[in-house]
Every structure is written in structure tokens, then in C-alpha cells.
């Protein structure tokens, strides 16, 4: 079963907004065994919409459309859908009008004719009631194909997908089971992994695919399979997952699609361990990545952003002598920073990062991209020097990924 | 002049990553007067790639392709482009091979045949050297049309666009001159601004357009004009820019397209002022936003990520009594946090943020989304309570924006 997503709206094509709706919809469709063949973003232009609908119909069974349902002149999705699907007239949809009236009375706004017109729909569609906004969600059937037009407002679309669209698709189609399983790796590149996993990949049966999804400092490996629901495909996938894990014991971080800092939080929370940070060149990035995860306070105490020499001394007790003699980016300083965090912040583990993010501040000895990272527990501290590139934001991101990887490896070692 | 963007990669179609590249590319193309007609995301499938190329060619003058250029088996963009554009053979591209070798030697990784193969390109393309990664950027010309294939890794793509692709397009095509000028506002919504600026907007000449670009907590106003290069259009734009600034004196932050924390850094650096932070619920976000800007160390000393009660007491001297009696999210605590930062971190200004980001931790009195923010200098401290929503990441982002806006307003007041 294949679907296509068409997003309609000038704001995507001029780059004003990033189309995050499509990725979310694709995830939901994949989860019920519907493959997304193509995602197409087009402007509010009738001819272009008609062509996109025709092209999507030729490839897919299910066409999901978002956007272009607002009350203003430039929103023409509804009448263009009506034209494409051979509607005879527009009819007022009572329940939608009720929603429109309710919303306007809630915000005490005067209701205009354009708002009432929102509740008019093509006579040959089935309305899936949108109780969160004024734009109706419309389902059309044509031959064996289904077209569903939804508003582009993310929470309205998500609510409609969850409560109406997905249940209808599950009921109407005999869907195969699709399984994905993701392994997060850190510290090695895509081509190294591909070389390591060559034999396993070569021996995969045709219905199982391995994909490499690289990001700065980490690569996700995704095994996926489409099959009929009765097969023991999860078990089969597990076999290959285990083969991969065994092949790269020092590089895998998690057997699920989570970022590395979340894997660390899970591991530390299970062992009731606490964490603090001492960030110089990462400047809050480690903390920010950690604290985006709900519940992180069970593990994360906080830390110091020690950008200046004075802060390194005040918060972490780094000796002015050490800073003077070896500089802020040195093994001596990073060790004092990590040990200072353990002592002053009183946590089981600490990460310290100090480097030259750039673009300025490099020397011949310590070029931009030189970063020292240390990871400590109450007994011992390890420090490592990295040489990244000359781009500030990348150096920060790479430093954060390397620091998390070092902590993860140390935790694995310490916890056995 | 019309362009289309084709992004290739299963990871977009299964929703594993959000396609943010396309929006960025569209912005860059718009800035030089090239309209994006369609954005198409397709999988690593040769037939589908061929069809998408043909469809794009039929509509657009310029086709930009990203993704599918990795060293692994599932990456087939290069050979499919070669097939579509009638290449006769693959040839080794020396400069690309040098880049590949340099990258591998820098990371001390063994170079494999698949990596060397990265440097092979179709014989009929022009290579735009990608000096940031191992995948080549290839430009093909066919009749009057141009096809450019770029890696999907965002920073590689961005660097190629900035240094190679945009300059080539500007040289090859007779593009209209487009001027943009942006005003950053903070603290008020789009519809409020639209109402305030109604008269100015109504009086704009037809060749000047005002766009509202809202983000959480800020709205950018962009005036743009498309015209022949000789007109005194910059001066004309300036007149309207000044009218807008005069109309909204308490809401505009910058007359250029920079984020609010950068405007703060500029203002503070000019006056030789120092800044520290005390972050609880923002958990490093303020620091991370500040330290992404090169040269921030002239202003930013650092700060404390005080997630736990203990850290609030240790780093900022918040009294355990205050925390016990009023809680971490209270006026009393936030005032002590801000004053503690000024005192302990010895800076001219400090920001403190403490709130309930959620999803848990809310109470009837203090629901999720309750956030206290304080801004202090050495003489006085102001605190304000905000009530945001129930989404963790949004609450963090809104808190950061509100905190920066409070600091910016205080600086403006203090500095006159």
C-alpha cells in the first residue's frame, strides 16, 4: 500500500517554514504499514495542484493533502479538489459550522462570511470533523483510491490523523506489517560501519533492508522490513540486529531510535547515578541536549558554563597557575575541570569540555578545532584530545557528541 | 527564473528526518530572485529518481538535487544522474580524491575502496569542489537547463550553495535585483504588529512587500523589493524601515536579520558590559544560544545550570529556606538566583530563569508552563512571571526568548 503526501502553500516554497508535517505523517503511515512514495510541496496554484494530484494518483493508493484551506483568497485547495474530483456543488456542513461558531465565540471575534464559507464542502466528500479549527478535513474516494485533504496547522492535522485518518485507513485496507529497528552508533563513520557490516548486509534476505543515517558524530543503522502480518519478522529482524550488535560492540549505543544523551540518561537513571557538566567551548550545548528530555532531573544536577578563566576557577576550583601555565585548552586544565565538577557539584559522574571552537583564538600549537574532553567519576578521570575542523557550530556539536560518547563508554566499562 | 528541489533519501519518506535543507535552499534562491516551483522528496530508487528528474526538467530551469551521495549501496543518486544526463563513463576527479584522503588522514581512519570511489564522477559533469566532505557536488548542463547534485549533509550543502552554486547561478542567469531588509521584533505577536503597521503597509508602493515571519516569541518583519538594479531602491526601503521603527519603538530589537541574543551581545560589547546566566528550566539553552556566536566571550562569562535545589544553593547562594518555603519556581527564588549570579559570577548583568517546563511537575497553583524570569544589574533586579503552554520544548524556547527580551529592554532603559 502506497501513499503520497502533497503539501500546499507558498510559505514552504519560499523557505519561510520548514515542512515538519510531512515527516510526522510519514512516521504515522509507516507505523501502520503504508509506505510513502513521494512528498511534494507546491504553491497555492490551481493548475499545479491539479497536476500534482494527477501524478500522485498515478503512483499511490492514498493521497494525503495538507494546507491551503484557510479563509483567505490565496487558499484554493478546497475548490481545486472539488474540481479534480468532479464535485457538482458546495454544500454547508452543519457540524463544521458549529465548530466555526464555537471557536469565534470563544475568542469573542466577529464571524464573517468568509468564516461561514469555511463550513461549505464539496457535495461528494465525506467530512472528517475537525473540532480544533475552522478548516474542514475532506475525504474523497475515486475508483480504488482515496484523497484526504487536511489543514496544514500541525496540531489540527495531527489530531485528525490520530483520531480519524489512521483509523479509517486501517479499517479500509489490508495492511502489511512494517517493522523498523534502529541502532544508534557513535564515534565511527558511515563507511567504516559499512565495511564492518559488509558480510551481514550481503547476507540479508531481500525483504530486509539496512540503511545508514549519518549525523555529525553518530550514525544510525536502520533495519526495515515489509511483510505480511503473520510472519515471524520481528524475530527475524532481532537475529540480524543481534549480529550487528555483536560485530560492533564498541560503537553501538542504543537499540532504539533515541539520541545518545537519552541513552546515557536511561542507563544512569537505572543505576541511580547523578551527572554534572563543566562546559567551556560547548557553552551550554551538553546541558541543553540533556535537559530537553523530560525527567532528566532524576540524573542531571546541572553544572557550570565556565567560559572565562575566572569562572573556571570560581566554579570548579581550577588553579590560576594551571590556566596560566598550560592554558584553558590543555590536559592539565580539563582534568582539574572534571575533578572540580565531581567535587563541587557532588555528582557521581561529570563531563568537562574545553576547546577552541573558533573562528578565532587558534594558535600554531592549538589550532581552531582543538578540544580537550574529560569524563570523571569519584575514583578516576580520563581525558582525551580531539582535533576537529574550523567551523564553530560544528566544533561545538562534534565536541558534544564526542563527550557523550566518552561518557557512554566509561559508563559501560564501569558498570560492566 | 524557476527552480525545483529534489531531495533523495528513504530517511525523509519514512519520517526519520525532517527535510530542513529545502527550506534553507528556498530562502537562498528567493534572495537572488529565483522562485522555487516545487519541492519533491523521493526514495533511493532509480526509476523514481529518473521520473522526478524528467518532471522537474519539464517545469523548471534549475534543478537542485540533494542526498543519496554516500559511499554505501543504497546511495544511487550519482549513477542515476549519470544515466539521466547521458554520461559515458565515470572518471576519477583528482581534487575530490585529495579531499577524501585529507579527511581520512585527519581522522586517522583507513581509506577504503568505497571512499576512493566517492571521487569518481560522470565524465560530462562539472565538479563543484566539496572541501567539507567526501561526496562530490556535480553540475550538469542539458539544453538550457542546469542540474546540480549536492550532498544531503546540511553543512556541506550550505557551504556548497554559498560558495559555488549561488555565485554560478548569479553569473549564468540575468536575475532581477532583490533587496531585503529585516527588522527583528520581540515580545508581541504577528496580528498585533499587523494592526500597528496597517497604515504603513497600506501606503507601500506596489514593488515593495512587507512580510511577517513569526517564530516562537519573535516576529521578523521583512521588507523586500524586486526591481531593476539601478533604482534608488535601498534609500526608498530605508524610508519605510524608519517609519516602521518609529511606529513600534518598544518592540523592535534589531534592524538586521540577527537573533535577539546577538543584538544583546552587540549592544553589551559596545558598552563593555559583562553577562552571566543562572538557568534552571532553560537548562543551558540561554548559554547555548549565546555561545553559538563567535566573539561572545567579550561579553559572556558563563553561568550556572542549576537544575537541582543543591546547585541553586551551591552556585548562586539561594537560601534553602527560600526554596523550601516558596519553591524553586517563585518570585523569591528567582530574585535570589539573579542576585546570586551577579554576586558570585561578578558580572554587570545576569539573567535567571526558573520554571516548570513539563510535561510533569505542575501543580494547581503552578501549572506546567509557569516560568519566573529575572534580570539583574549590580543595582537592581526585575522579575516577571510568565505562563506558557504545556509543551516542554516550546516552554524552554519561549522562556529563552522572553528572558532575552527582558534583558534587551532593561539594557535599553539603563543605557538610555
Specify the 3-state DSSP secondary structure of A143: coil
Contact in structure between A338 and A375 (CB atoms under 8 Å) = yes
The x, y and z cell numbers of residue A359, run together, are 573562528
Name, in order, each residue with C-beta under 8 angstroms of A135's C-beta and a sequence gap of 6 or more: A69, A70, A118, A151, A153, A156
Q: Which of residues 226-255 of B touch A (CB under 8 A)?
A: none
DSSP state of B133: S
Cβ–Cβ contact B100 with A under 8 A: no
DSSP of A84-139: HTT---EEE-HHHHHHHHHHHHHTTPPPPHHHHHTTEEETT-EEE--TTSSSPEEE
Specify the 3-state DSSP secondary structure of B30: helix
**Main-chain phi, psi angles of A371, to 5 degrees:** -135, 130
Q: Cell numbers 583528482 correspond to what residue?
A: B94
Q: In A227-298, which residue ranges form alpha helices assigned H by DSSP?
A: 233-247, 260-270, 285-291
- What is the spatial distance between Cα A168 and Cα B190, in angstroms, rounded to a whole number? 37
Given a cut of 60, is residue A20 above it in pLDDT? yes
Q: Cell numbers 468564516 correspond to what residue?
A: A115
Between chains, do A43 and B37 touch, taking CB under 8 Å as contact? yes
Q: Cell numbers 527552480 correspond to what residue?
A: B3
* CB-closest option in A25, A29, A359 to B294: A359
Contact in structure between A122 and A78 (CB atoms under 8 Å) = yes
Q: Which of A210, A212, A209 is nearest to A192 (CA)?
A: A212
Closest approach of B359 to chain A, Cα-based (Å): 7
Query: Distance of CA A160 to CAs A81, A148, A153, B149, Å?
Result: 18, 11, 11, 37
Between chains, do B396 and A292 touch, taking CB under 8 Å as contact? yes
Given a cut of 60, is residue B229 above it in pLDDT? no
Specify the 3-state DSSP secondary structure of A325: helix
DSSP of A397-415: HHHHHHHHHHHHHHHHHHH
The pLDDT assigned to A115 comes to 85
**Main-chain phi, psi angles of B234, to 5 degrees:** -65, -45
Cβ–Cβ contact A209 with B under 8 A: yes
- What is the spatial distance between Cα A129 and Cα B222, in angstroms, rounded to a whole number? 36
The pLDDT assigned to A416 comes to 81
* Res. A230 pLDDT band, cuts 50 70 90: low
Given a cut of 70, is residue A228 above it in pLDDT? no
Classify the C-alpha dihedral B89-B95-B99-B102 as positive or negative.
positive
pLDDT tens digits, B121-172: 999 999 999 999 999 999 999 999 999 999 999 989 999 999 999 999 999 9
The x, y and z cell numbers of residue B250, run together, are 518598544
The pLDDT assigned to A197 comes to 96
Residues of chain B contacting residue A387, judged by C-beta atoms under 8 Å apart: 106
Average pLDDT over residues A29-35: 89
* CB-closest option in A189, A224, A306 to B109: A189
Q: Cell numbers 528513504 correspond to what residue?
A: B10
CA angle B21, A153, A158 (to 5 degrees): 95
- What is the spatial distance between Cα A256 and Cα A262, in angstroms, rounded to a whole number? 11
Residues of chain A contacting residue B19, judged by C-beta atoms under 8 Å apart: 18-19, 22-23, 39
Closest approach of A15 to chain B, Cα-based (Å): 4
* Res. B231 pLDDT band, cuts 50 70 90: low
Closest approach of B84 to chain A, Cα-based (Å): 19
Given a cut of 70, is residue A231 above it in pLDDT? no
Cβ–Cβ contact B391 with A under 8 A: no
| List of domains in chain A | 2-172 (3.40.980.10), 177-254 (3.30.70.2860), 260-415 (3.90.950.20)
Average pLDDT over residues B380-384: 98
Given a cut of 60, is residue B402 above it in pLDDT? yes
pLDDT tens digits, B23-73: 999 999 988 989 999 999 999 999 999 999 999 999 999 999 999 998 877
Q: Which of A118, A188, A106 is nearest to A151 (CA)?
A: A118
Given a cut of 70, is residue B240 above it in pLDDT? yes
> CA A148, A153, A159, A163: dihedral to nearest 10 degrees?
-10
- What is the spatial distance between Cα A29 and Cα A178, in angstroms, rounded to a whole number? 10
A359 prior amide bond cis, ω within 30: yes
A200 prior amide bond cis, ω within 30: no
Specify the 3-state DSSP secondary structure of B162: helix
Cβ–Cβ contact A15 with B under 8 A: yes
Run of H or E including B237 = helix B233-247
Given a cut of 90, is residue B353 above it in pLDDT? yes
Number of H helices, E strands in chain B: 17, 17
The pLDDT assigned to B109 comes to 79
The pLDDT assigned to B394 comes to 87
Closest approach of A17 to chain B, Cα-based (Å): 7
Residues of chain B contacting residue A303, judged by C-beta atoms under 8 Å apart: 304-305, 311
Cβ–Cβ contact A192 with B under 8 A: yes
Contact in structure between B279 and B305 (CB atoms under 8 Å) = yes
Average pLDDT over residues B340-349: 98
What ipTM was reported for this prediction? Answer: 0.82
Q: In A40-93, which residue ranges form alpha helices assigned H by DSSP?
A: 46-59, 77-84
- What is the spatial distance between Cα B311 and Cα B280, in angstroms, rounded to a whole number? 10
Contact in structure between B32 and B26 (CB atoms under 8 Å) = no
The pLDDT assigned to A108 comes to 73
Average pLDDT over residues B381-402: 93
Q: Which residue would you say has higher pLDDT here, A212 or B26?
A: B26
Contact in structure between B153 and A391 (CB atoms under 8 Å) = no
- What is the spatial distance between Cα A280 and Cα B147, in angstroms, rounded to a whole number? 43
DSSP state of A350: E
pLDDT tens digits, A292-312: 999 999 999 999 999 999 999
Radius of gyration for the alpha carbons in chain A, expressed in angstroms and rounded: 27
The pLDDT assigned to B195 comes to 85
Q: A156-169 as b/e, with b when 16 or more CB fall inside 10 Å? A: bbbbbbeebbbeeb
Range scoring the smallest mean pLDDT among A77-91, A110-124, A381-395, B209-223: B209-223
Q: Which of B404, B393, B390, B413 is nearest to B218 (CA)?
A: B404
Q: Which of A260, A404, A298, A265 is nearest to B307 (CA)?
A: A298
The pLDDT assigned to B88 comes to 96
The pLDDT assigned to B189 comes to 78
pLDDT tens digits, A67-113: 988 877 778 999 999 999 999 999 999 999 999 999 888 767 788 88
Between chains, do A305 and B308 touch, taking CB under 8 Å as contact? no
Specify the 3-state DSSP secondary structure of B252: strand
Range scoring the smallest mean pLDDT among A138-147, A148-157, B68-77, B226-235: B226-235
Residues of chain A contacting residue B337, judged by C-beta atoms under 8 Å apart: none
Between chains, do A41 and B42 touch, taking CB under 8 Å as contact? no
Q: Is B35 left (phi over 0), alpha (psi -120 to 50) or beta?
A: beta
- What is the spatial distance between Cα A280 and Cα B140, in angstroms, rounded to a whole number? 45
> CA B275, B401, B156, A408: dihedral to nearest 10 degrees?
70
- What is the spatial distance between Cα A253 and Cα A261, in angstroms, rounded to a whole number? 10
DSSP state of B169: H
Query: Distance of CA B292 to CAs A27, A393, B155, B270, B389, Å?
Result: 31, 6, 15, 19, 27
Q: Cell numbers 506596489 correspond to what residue?
A: B206
Average pLDDT over residues A137-145: 96
Q: What is the number of CB-based contacts under 8 A between chain A and chain B?
A: 270
Contact in structure between A231 and A180 (CB atoms under 8 Å) = no
Query: Distance of CA B243 to CAs A24, B129, B246, Å?
Result: 41, 45, 5
The x, y and z cell numbers of residue A45, run together, are 496554484
Residues of chain A contacting residue B14, judged by C-beta atoms under 8 Å apart: 26-27, 30, 36, 180, 224
Amino acid at each position: 500500500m502506497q501513499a503520497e503526501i502533497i503539501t500546499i502553500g507558498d510559505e514552504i516554497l519560499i523557505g519561510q517554514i520548514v515542512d515538519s508535517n510531512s515527516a510526522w505523517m510519514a512516521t504515522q503511515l509507516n507505523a501502520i504499514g503504508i509506505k510513502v512514495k513521494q512528498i511534494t510541496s507546491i504553491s497555492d496554484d490551481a493548475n499545479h495542484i491539479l497536476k500534482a494530484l494527477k501524478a500522485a494518483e498515478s503512483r499511490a493508493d492514498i493521497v494525503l493533502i495538507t494546507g491551503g484551506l484557510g479563509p483567505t483568497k490565496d487558499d484554493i485547495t478546497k475548490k481545486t479538489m472539488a474540481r479534480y474530483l468532479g464535485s457538482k456543488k458546495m454544500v454547508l456542513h452543519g457540524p463544521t459550522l458549529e465548530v466555526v461558531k464555537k471557536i469565534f465565540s470563544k475568542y469573542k471575534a466577529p464571524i464573517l462570511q468568509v468564516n461561514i464559507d469555511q463550513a461549505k464542502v464539496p457535495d461528494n466528500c465525506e467530512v472528517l470533523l475537525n473540532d480544533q479549527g475552522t478548516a474542514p478535513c475532506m475525504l474523497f474516494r475515486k475508483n480504488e483510491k482515496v484523497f484526504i485533504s487536511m489543514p496544514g496547522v500541525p496540531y489540527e492535522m495531527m489530531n485528525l490523523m490520530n483520531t480519524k485518518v489512521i483509523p479509517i485507513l486501517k479499517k479500509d485496507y489490508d495492511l502489511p506489517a512494517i517493522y523498523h529497528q534502529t541502532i544508534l552508533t557513535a564515534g565511527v563513520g558511515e563507511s567504516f560501519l559499512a565495511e564492518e557490516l559488509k558480510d551481514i548486509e550481503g547476507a540479508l534476505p531481500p525483504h530486509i533492508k539496512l540503511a545508514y543515517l549519518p549525523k555529525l558524530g553518530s550514525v544510525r543503522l536502520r533495519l526495515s522490513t515489509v511483510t505480511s502480518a503473520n510472519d515471524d519478522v520481528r524475530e527475524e529482524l532481532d537475529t540480524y540486529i543481534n549480529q550487528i550488535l555483536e560485530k560492533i560492540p564498541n560503537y553501538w549505543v542504543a537499540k532504539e531510535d533515541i539520541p545518545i544523551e537519552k541513552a546515557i540518561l536511561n542507563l544512569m537513571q537505572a543505576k541511580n547515578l547523578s551527572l554534572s557538566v563543566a562546559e567551556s567551548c560547548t557553552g551550554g550545548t551538553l546541558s541543553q541536549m540533556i535537559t530537553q528530555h523530560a525527567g532528566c532531573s532524576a540524573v542531571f544536577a546541572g553544572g557550570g558554563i565556565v567560559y572565562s578563566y575566572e569562572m573556571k576557577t570560581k566554579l570548579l576550583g581550577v588553579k590560576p597557575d594551571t590556566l596560566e601555565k598550560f592554558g584553558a585548552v590543555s590536559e592539565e586544565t580539563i582534568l582539574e575541570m572534571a575533578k572540580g565538577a565531581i567535587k563541587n557539584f557532588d555528582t557521581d559522574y561529570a563531563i568537562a569540555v574545553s576547546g577552541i571552537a573558533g573562528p578565532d583564538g587558534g594558535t600554531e600549537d592549538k589550532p581552531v578545532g582543538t578540544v580537550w574532553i574529560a569524563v570523571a567519576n569519584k575514583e578516576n578521570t580520563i581525558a582525551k584530545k580531539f582535533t576537529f575542523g574550523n567551523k564553530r557550530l560544528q566544533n561545538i556539536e562534534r565536541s558534544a557528541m564526542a563527550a557523550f560518547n566518552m561518557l557512554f563508554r566509561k559508563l559501560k566499562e564501569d558498570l560492566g
